[in-house]
Each structure stands twice: as C-alpha cells, then as structure tokens.
Chains A and B, each alone.
Chain A
Amino acid sequence: MESLVYRHNRITRLTHWINAVALLVLFMSGLQIFNAFPELHWGSKAEPDEAFFSIAATNEDAEVRGYTHLFGLKFDTTGLLGVQNTATGPSPRAFPSWITIPGYFWLAGGRRWHFFFGWIFTINGVLYFLYNVLNGHMRKFLFTLKDAIQVPAMIAYYLRLRRESPQKGEYNPLQKMAYTSVFVILTPLVLLSGLAMSPQLDIAFNWLPAAFAGRQSARTVHFILAFGFLFFTFGHVFMVLTTGFLNNMRSMVTGWHNEKIAPTIEVAPETPVAPSPTAPSLSIEGEGKGEEEPENIASHQTSEPELKADAQENPKDEGGVNEKSKF
C-alpha cells in the first residue's frame, strides 16, 4: 500500500524556497524604491503633470489625507496608500511601512536589498531553468497549442460545469498556462525592464529602454509586472491552501506527497475521500528521467534548513534610523 509519493526533488524544493524569499524581498524592497518617487510615467522622461498614476499626501484643514490618482481619477486611500496611521499619528508615505524593506523610509537600504536579491533571484532561476530543461521536466509544464484547446474544458471543470478533468499528465492546462507565462513572459520581462533602468547598461544597449518605449515606461512595466508576480503568488497560495495545505507544504519541504488525500479542490472535509489508485500517478512520476528514486532520497530526509537562514539573524533595535531627505 503506497500512499506517499516522492514528488519534489531536492533541487526543486531548494530553488522553490529561495525563489519565494527572493520574490518577497524584491517586491517589498521594490516598493521602498517606488516610495522615493511614487508616480508612474510613460516614455523617456517624467514630466510632473503627465503622471498617469501617483500616490500623494495632502494637508486638508490640518488633516493629512492620502490620495491615489489613476488616469485622472482620485481615490481617498488614507491609511493604506499616501498616509499611514502610526502610533505617533498619521504619517505621509506612499506604500505603508509593513510592506516595504526596510520598514522606515531609506531608499539606499531598499536599493541594497533589491540589487542583492536580484542576483539571488537570477542565479537561482537560471539553476532551476537549466536543471529542469536538462532533466526534461520543463516539457511537462510548457503550455502548448494542445493545452490551449483544453483551456475552456478545464475552466468548465473548475466551475463544475464538467464532470471529468481534461488533465493528462502531471499538470493541467491552466497550471501550464500560469507556469509558462511566468517563465516566458513575466520573468524575462521583469529582468529586462529592470536592467533597462540602468544608465550604465543603457549606454551600451540603447535599444533596451527603447524596447519599452523609454526608461520611464520600463519603470512602469517593471512595477506592473511586480504585481503580476504578486497576482500569481496569490493564485499559487490559494491553490496550495485549497488542495490540502499541510500535504502540499510537506511535499515542498520534505519532497513527500500523500496521493491518498485527493489532490482536487472538490473535497470538503465531510465527504469521505475515495481512495484514488496511486499506481498511475506513481508511474507518471517514474517517467521523470533525472528524478531520484524514493529509496535513494529517503536517507537524507532528516533536515531541511532552507528557509531558516534569514530568520535566525537577531533583529536588533530599530532606532538609529538614518532618515535623510530625498535628493
């Protein structure tokens, strides 16, 4: 009676968690950098009256309020964007402290985090990419024309308009579409739009900012794509939560996934779980050429300290904040 399946090998798990940390840090430090100039523009330059998106704080009758402007529309976002309510009263800042790195306003710090973790994200991504191309795993989740045809059926299945899933193989068409768009669209574009903001690279590659219609557009694209990653992560985490959270977490931490817990989102806690035959999924697993067999890996399953490294640093005093004015 086999119920545990070795689903994710060490490299997949390690790169997954490094990627998770890197994306979190890049997103939060990116918002810190954005706070230094909380406007979005299109083209090469940023004329102050041509911003199509901006976050600003205004003083009205001795009350500070935060406003978010988008294409001429004005939204009062006091408390979230523009003005944050702190223990010492309302404080003007575009994105609030809990979503930026560092939490206080310090552009230089945000840049240090961003550029360091940019390397981590890139190197980790390249390793992941090479490994999965070499062992043939990439083919399994690349979105093809065949999958595109299956997309309506898969949506119908999720909406319970259709009884059986059109899924063949390990990934369903919507999963493939999500993963492939992250690999083929989101990741290359976020890297290129980031690099297009570098004046040093721009002197060698004039086409780089031009490809985005200018440096300010590249900045805008970079910002929007960051939220693309956030959107993907929300979807990803939602699926992890709804398809057996602990089981999924275990498989991404230890590698082992229990196939007896039905992996669909259909299962409510009350309904008895039909024991799905594990043999087919096992045989699919066996196809992965470079994947280690459960027997080989079982011996080194004792500890997985991947995520802990950062958390162990002792968070010391928050004081001594060198808050300097912008320039």
Chain B
Amino acid sequence: MLKKTQKTRVALMKNQSFDLSRRKLLLGALQATGLVLFSGCEKMFNGLQQNRKFLSLLESAEGANRRVQKFLTGRNKLAQEFTEKDISRYFKPNGNPPPLAMDYMADAASQWQSWRLEVSGLAQSPHSFSLTELKSMPARTQITRHDCVEGWSAIGKWKGVRLEEIMRRVQPQPRAKYVVFHCMDTDSDGTHYYESIDLEDAVHPQTILAYEMNDAPLPLEHGAPLRLRLENQLGYKMAKYIRAIEFVADLKNIQQGKGGYWEDQGYEWFAGI
C-alpha cells in the first residue's frame, strides 16, 4: 500500500510537468522514435544479422518449420496438377545458365549420346544410365506449379522417370539418408551447383528426373539433359544439368556441408516454405 501511494505521488508530479510542456515532449518523442526507427534500427538489424549466435537462433525456425509441416502434411499427398491451358506462357529459366564447358556443348550437339547419369554412393548396385535408358523406363507426366524462393510461380508440364524407379534399380543401402545431385553448371566463381533431398521426398510419386518440358526435350536453359522436379519444395532444390546422383549418410563432407549450393550461402535446406 505504501508503495502505491508513492507511485501515485510520483505519477502526479510527472503529469504536471507533462501538461506544461506537452507539445515539446510529444515532438521530442516523435523525433526520437523516428531516429530510432530509421537509423538505429537499420544498424541494429544489420548487426544482428551478422551476429553468429543471433543468426543461429533465427535459423532454429527451419527445424520447427520442417517438423511441423511434415507432420501436418503426412506422406504421399500430391501437389495440385493443372491442365494444359494453365501452362505459363513464360517460364523464367533461373539459376546458372547452361554450362559453357566443351564436353557439355559437345554432348548437347550429339543429343546426349555420350552423356551418362552416374548413380553411386551407398547403393548395392551402382549404375550409369544413358538418356535412352532413362527414357525407356516407366515415365510420369505432370503439370505442376513451380515456386521460386524469390516469390514468383510458373506452371509447366514435365515428363520424366520417377526417382523411386532409379532407386529400385540401384538399391540404396539402409545407411543412406540423402540423395545428392551433382550438377554440371557452375557459378561465376566456378563452384559447381549441387543439391540434396531426403529419402522420404525422393520416393514421393511426383519426384521425377525430367527430360521433357512442355512436350519438348528439356531446353538447355531449363537444365538439359536432366533436372529434378520436387513438387513440395522451392525451385532452388530442383537441381538442373544433373551429372551424377549419390546416396550418402550425411551431408557434412560435400562442398561446404549444408547440403546445397544456396544452403551453403544461408538459405534453408528445408525449402518447404
């Protein structure tokens, strides 16, 4: 009770002075708020962004997103499939342009005669597939929406072989946890693109290695001769210009260890949102 009376008195004193210079105080408060908001905040947010501990706190949301979303989704739910008339007039070819390496250009010129998809790693019977071999396997065609991390979406028609079909032939070992895609394209520094997904996503019915887009052979800029379609995640997970597939138990020893080219630069490995 004593405390309360003191509080009352202090409050009343404050309020008297407040009434006298109300306008001044208000203006001051506004100015201060503006200053804090527009200059201080930017510095603070940028500083926090560079702070390792704070960043890993922010990054902890990725695990929560993955667990909760996977829990809510369940297994083998299919992404919406669209109709022919929904297909985008323009589909932005994002990421690295087609490789300029001589062997890539030569392979492209020869309709991928000497190109091989090398499947290895923790597998019982590793194998190299020619494009003809892949095309002779059961195919799946789907018209799906592609969501880029930048925010845009485009709809395309894809035909390819299910990744599960490949797995049935090479028999991953029980130790294998991830599928890694090694790609032929590089960034301007010469770093090769790569990506990885888990086995649950790998066996999803709509997860395919596409060799056709919109009823034509996969265009160079869209990842010829073979690219991944992974309909439950963002575009950067869908490796293009695939050269090899590797089954691994963990991702630590591949490039910078985060499981993908963009992941190594701070993007989420789980790109479900």
Contact = CB atoms under 8 A, between A and B. Distances in A.
Given A45-B88, A246-B25, A298-B4, A204 B77 contact: yes
Given A115-B273, A327-B95, A199 B79 contact: yes
B22 A269 contact: yes
A44 B146 CA distance: 10
A200 B69 contact: yes
Interface string A26-42: 00100001101101010
Interface string A96-109: 01100111101111
Contacts of A215: 145, 147, 153
Contacts of B62: 115
Interface in A287-318: 294-295, 298-299, 301, 310-311, 313-318
Contacts of A214: 153
Q: Indicate the size class of the contact surface on chain B.
A: 35 or more
Given A45-B153, A111-B267, A215-B153, A256 B73 contact: no
Majority secondary structure, B binding face: helix
Interface in A32-60: 33-34, 36-37, 39, 41, 44-48
Contact of A200 (B1, B29, B48, B273): B273
Contacts of B216: none
Contacts of B154: 45-46
B12 interface: yes
Interface in A313-327: 313-318, 320, 322, 324, 326-327
A245 B3 contact: no
B273 A116 contact: no
A241 B33 CA distance: 12
Interface residues of A, number: 77
Given A44-B145, A47-B90, A112-B266, A206 B80 contact: yes
A250 interface: yes
A69 to B, nearest CB: 16
A313 B266 contact: no
A3 interface: yes
B196 interface: no
A202 interface: yes
Q: Of A2, A3, A48, A203, which is in contact with the most chain B CB atoms at under 10 Å from its CB?
A: A203
Given A46-B154, A103-B42, A327-B95, 5 more contacts: A37-B152, A46-B152, A48-B92, A101-B49, A245-B29
Interface of B: 1, 3-4, 7-8, 11-12, 14-15, 18-20, 22-23, 25-26, 29-30, 38-39, 41-51, 54-55, 57-62, 64-65, 69-70, 72-74, 77-80, 82, 86, 88-90, 92, 94-96, 145, 147-155, 231-234, 236, 262, 265-268, 272-273
Interface of A: 2-4, 28, 33-34, 36-37, 39, 41, 44-48, 97-98, 101-104, 106-109, 111-113, 115-116, 118-119, 195, 197-204, 206, 209-210, 214-216, 219, 241, 245-247, 250, 256, 258, 260-261, 269, 273, 294-295, 298-299, 301, 310-311, 313-318, 320, 322, 324, 326-327
27 contacts: A36-B151, A45-B154, A47-B88, A98-B38, A98-B39, A98-B41, A108-B268, A109-B266, A115-B62, A115-B273, A119-B61, A199-B147, A199-B234, A200-B232, A203-B232, A204-B72, A216-B153, A246-B15, A246-B18, A269-B22, A269-B23, A294-B4, A310-B44, A313-B47, A315-B46, A315-B47, A326-B150
